[in-house]
Amino acid sequence: MPYGAFVELERGIEGLVHISEFSWTKRIGHPSEVLAIGDMIEAVVLSIDKDSQKIALGIKQTEMNPWTEVAGKYPVGTQVKGKVRSFIDYGAFIELEEGIDGLLHNTDISWTRKINHPSEVLKKGQKIDAVVLSVDADNRKLSLGMKQLVADPWPDFVARFQPGTAAEGVITKITNFGLFVELAPDLEGLAHVSELPIETSGKLEESYKVGDKAQVKVLRVDDAERRIALSLKV
C-alpha cells in the first residue's frame, strides 16, 4: 500500500510496517522502492492492539539509529563539508553523509546579502563548507551556516558607506520598484524608482541592464535591517 507493507508473520497473522518505519534516514516515496511481495524480512514488533487486531512492525529498528551519533560526531561549532542535495524556499538541505542532512537557512548564507531563494547562490550537487549551528538528534534536525565561516563585514561597510557618500556600483537586479546595486562583494543597496534620474513609462529594463556600472549616493543606512538606500540622482 502507499502507506506501508503488510507482512505475514504466520498463517493468518499479519503486521503493518508503516512507510515511516522503513529507514532512519532514507526518504522513501513508496514501499515498492525497497520491498517486493514475497521478500523475507526482519522486523521488530512495535505495538499490538488486540481489540482491533493490529500489529505494528518496524524495519529500521533492526539497525542502530545513526542520529544517536550525530551530536557527538557533529558538535556545535564544527566546520564540515557537504553537498547541496535539494532546495526549499527558505533554505537548502546539505548532505553531510548518506542519510544525514543539515538545513542551511537563507539567513545563514550571507551576512549582508538578502537571499530570497538558495538557488540564487547555490547549485544542486555543489560541495560547500559550513559550520554546525545546532543539533537536535531526537527530532533529526541539524542546522548549518555558511556566513559564520567569515567575520561579519557589516560594521566595516557601515563605516565606509555613510549617508551622503558617493560610490560606484554594479547593477545586480532590476525589479518593478527599483534597482539593486552592488557596492562591494556581498553588499547591495536599493535605489528606489523614485531615486532614479530618468522617468520612463516602460519597464526599467529598457533603460538599465544587469552588469551596468552606476554612480550612486548613499541616502540611508538601516543598521537593524542591514539595508542601504541609494539614489542615482547624483
- From first to last of its 234 residues, what are the pLDDT tens digits of the chain? 999 999 999 998 999 999 999 988 777 889 999 999 999 999 999 999 999 999 999 999 998 888 888 888 999 999 999 999 999 999 999 999 888 899 999 999 999 888 889 999 999 999 999 999 999 988 889 999 999 999 999 999 989 999 999 999 999 989 888 999 999 888 899 999 989 886 655 678 888 899 999 999 999 999 888 899 999 987
Q: Domain tally for the chain?
A: 3
Nearest to residue 41, comparing CAs of 65, 60, 19, 64? 60
75 and 111 together in one domain? yes
Among 182, 223, 176, which Cα is nearest to 196's? Answer: 176
Same domain, 81 and 47: no
Range of the domain at 219: 154-231
Supply the CATH number for residue 74's domain.
Answer: 2.40.50.140
Is 211 found in the same domain as 179? yes
Same domain, yes or no, for 48 and 70?
no
pLDDT of residue 200: 57
Clarify whether residues 93 and 161 are in a common domain. Answer: no
Burial of 166 (C-beta count, 10 Å sphere; 0-12/13-18/19+): exposed
Phi/psi at 25 (5° precision): -125, -30
Question: In this structure, are 108 and 71 located in the same domain?
Answer: yes
Q: β-pairing, 141-145 with 100-105?
A: parallel
CA–CA separation, 84 and 127 (whole Å): 6
What pLDDT is attached to residue 228?
Answer: 94
Residues 81 and 143 placed together within one structural domain of the fold: yes
Q: What is the reported pLDDT for 168?
A: 94
Residues 159 and 225 in one domain: yes
Do 145 and 189 belong together in one domain? no
142, 185: one domain: no
Mark whether 74 and 144 lie in a shared domain: yes
Report the predicted TM-score, pTM, of the whole model to 2 decimal places.
Answer: 0.69
Q: What pLDDT, on a 0 to 100 scale, did the predictor assign at position 202?
A: 64
